[in-house]
Amino acid sequence: MQRRRILKLIAGVAVSVLSGGVARAARVVANFRFVRPPGALPEHEFTSACIGCGLCAQVCPNRAINYFSPGAGKKANTPYIVPRTKACILCMKCGAACPTGALKKITRNAESIVQNVKMGHARVDKTLCLSYQGKTCGVCYRACPLQDRALKVGMLEQPEVLGECVGCGICERSCIQIPQAIKVIPTHLATA
């Protein structure tokens, strides 16, 4: 009798603790806008190639990379970047560290980055952008690591995204307007 009661107690505690954890895991579903780290394979290949080792985040000097929890299904334990929280600084260390080739190894120079990195593409919302509203801003252009290749500014610092934008998200990170007038549209959303 004693034994049964103790077992019941332990089982009860275990179930309550676990259900809390499971609920938390289930809540964190991938319903927010994220980009994959630079050099990622196409989305379905990426989720199958990634083994969830966590190395890419451990070498990221900007602490930009985070991971999905098991509630995210196929995406579980795979890395993502939310540009507004922390943007990629295109250092290319994650690709060098990735042991499975889910992130390609890319040398760190502008040519190779422009050719190989396709995290997403920035888009300017002209109804929100301060420069288009007559208040000269240009912060995104100043922040862009690929100035005049990915982003150029015209009259009154009005930004215009060019074809070579790699979607690093530093413009979105730096935009002083709330909500952000320039946002990265992730590649996996654009192609889907």
Partner 1 sequence: MTVIPLQKKLNYLRWVALATVFSMLLLIPFLYLYQTFVAAHAYDYLSSYEKLVYKFGEFVSSPFTSDPKEALDALKGTTWIGRLFGLDLADPLAAVANTAASKRFYWPLWTMALIPIGLTLVFGRFFCGWLCPATFIYELNDNMGAWLRKLGVPVSRRRLNRSMKYFVLAVGIAWSVLMGVTVFSWIYPPLLIGRELNYAITLGGFGAGMVFFVLTLLFDLLVARRGFCRYLCPGGALYSLLGHFRLLRVQRKAEICNDCAKCNAVCQFGLSPLTDRFTQECNNCTACIQVCPTDALSFALRIQDQPYQGPGHLGRHYARHRHDGEVPEDGKTAQLAASTGSGRI
Between 70 and 138, whose beta carbon lies closer to partner 1?
70
Phi, psi of 156 (to 5 degrees): 60, 30
Q: Which of 16, 58, 107, 136 binds partner 1 (CB under 8 A)?
A: 58
Out of 16, 29, 51, 136, point to the residue binding partner 1 (CB under 8 A): 51
Q: Is 30 in the site for partner 1 (CB under 8 A)?
A: no
Chain mean position to CA 74: 17
Q: In angstroms, what is the minimal distance from the CB of 34 to partner 1?
A: 14
- Going from the C-alpha of 129 to that of each of 86, 133, 144, 147, the distances in angstroms are 21, 6, 16, 18
Binding flag, residue 55, partner 1 (CB under 8 A): yes
Residue 14 binds to partner 1 (criterion: CB under 8 A): yes
**Between 152 and 191, how does the x/- string for binding to partner 1 read (CB under 8 A)?**
----------------------------------------
Among 17, 29, 176, 190, binds partner 1 (CB under 8 A): 17
- Residue 77 found at the interface with partner 1 (CB under 8 A): yes
Torsion of CA 70, 77, 189, 99, to 10 degrees: -160
User: Which of 96, 142, 151 minimizes the C-alpha distance to 122?
Assistant: 151
Choose the binding region for partner 1 from 19-27, 106-114, 142-150, 174-182 (rule: CB under 8 A). 19-27
Smallest gap, in angstroms, from Cβ of residue 174 to partner 1? 16
- Asked if residue 74 lies in contact with residue 52, where contact means CB atoms within 8 angstroms, the answer is no
Contact 166, 90 (CB under 8 A): yes
Report residue 7 as tokens: 């077992």
